Each structure stands twice: as structure tokens, then as C-alpha cells.
Amino acid sequence: MRGKASCAAVSRRFREKSSAYAQRSRRRGLGIRRIAGETLLLVQFLVISAAATQSGSVDFAELTQALRAFQEKPSAETAASVRALLPREGQLKFDDSAQARAAREALDDGLPTLEAQVEAVDRDAIRLGFQLLAVADAPISKSLNAILGRLITTDARVFLEELLRWRTELKPRTLGQLVGTLGKEYVEQDHEAVCEEIQRRIDALLAVNEAALTEARDECVNELRQRRPRCG
């Protein structure tokens, strides 16, 4: 009898342990499925967000906030925040909505700050300028061309390095506009002043001798020389 009782007790303990193990396994299974489900939702959200950014869709309210933050305090962080909201493909298209108009106004207001940072050879601001140029239409693109083009006489090496980072993103036939747009201050200048500025840019570029930059340098110089056929 003691043997039968002992066997019954062992069997009962085995069933209890098996039941507990099964419950733990079910809980783990539910936890794994929950984590997998949350991960899938996150991936789907990221894919949808990336697709929206690539297609040119922009959250204008967030862009306005990011642009105002950059204008108030230009830094690597605020520049990166603006860049993260810009479309990866296509153009930055402002519609007639109030939010789009606010974003366009914030962009216009932020250009002087961007210009000052580019003049100070702030790499983050320069990269923001090139990314904006890749997606912006006129007249914003014209202002950006003037801002970035002036970097040639400030630091031609940095200009060429950052140009190479964004060259494939820029629209066709924009190199001449980038290096040759002199800005509003030259609109009423005489012919000689324009020619002198173009020559200063050519001389600054030709002073860069790094092998990795020579091809881009020569392309820029060629574009500038085509823009001054009457300079002699």
C-alpha cells in the first residue's frame, strides 16, 4: 500500500509540475507574441513614415517648429531636426494650407541664420543648406545658391567636400547656378565687380589640391569660366 501511495504522490507532483510548466510556457508564449506584435507595429510605423518622407509628404507643423528652433538656437541638434523632416526624394511642396504657409514663412525667416552659420563654416548648417537645396524650388533655391556659393571664397575645401556629399541629390544643371549665383548685393554692381568676384571664386577653388576633390574642383571652375565669357 505504501508503494501505491508513494507512486500516486509522485504522479500527482509530476502532474502539478507539468501544469505549472505549461502555464509558464503559455505566459512566455503570450509575452513573445506580444513583443513580436509590438515590434511589427513599430516596423510598420517606420516604413510608413519613411515612405511618407520619401514621397515628399511633410508634417508642416513639425517643420515650422524645427525651423523656429534652429533660427532661435542654431546647433547640430536643431539642424538635424530640420533635416530629418525634409523629403528624401522629390520636392518640398508648400500647398495653400495654413500650416504650409507657416512653414514657408519659418523657412524664409531662418535663411539669415543659416547664412550666418554657413559663413562661419558650420558643417551642420552647410549640410542643412545642401539638403534644402536638393528639395527646394525657386525662389528659395536661388537664395540657397547664393548662401552656399559664397562659401567658396570662405573655405573652398569645405565647399567641395560638402558638395561631394550632396552632388547626386542635386537637380541636373544646378552646379552652374550653385557656384555662379552671386547674391542680391551684386545685382546693382558694375560688370567689373561681378567679374572680380567670379575670379576670386576660381582662384579659391584652384588653391585646393586634394586629389579626392580635384574632379569636383575642375567642374566648378569650368562652370564659373562659362559664366564670365565677357570678363576677359
pLDDT band at 69 (very low <50, low <70, confident <90, very high): very high
180-191 in b/e burial notation, b at 16+ Cβ within 10 A? Answer: bbbeeeeeeeee
pLDDT band at 189 (very low <50, low <70, confident <90, very high): low
On whether the CB atoms of residues 220 and 175 are closer than 8 A, the answer is yes
Side-chain-side CA neighbours of residue 123 (13 Å): 6
The confidence score (pLDDT) of residue 18 equals 52
Phi, psi of 45 (to 5 degrees): -65, -45
- Given a contact cutoff of 8 angstroms between Cβ atoms, the answer to whether 94 and 132 are in contact is no
Which pLDDT score, from 0 to 100, does residue 229 have?
63
Amino acid at 162: E
Q: Residue 28: pLDDT band by 50, 70, 90 thresholds?
A: low
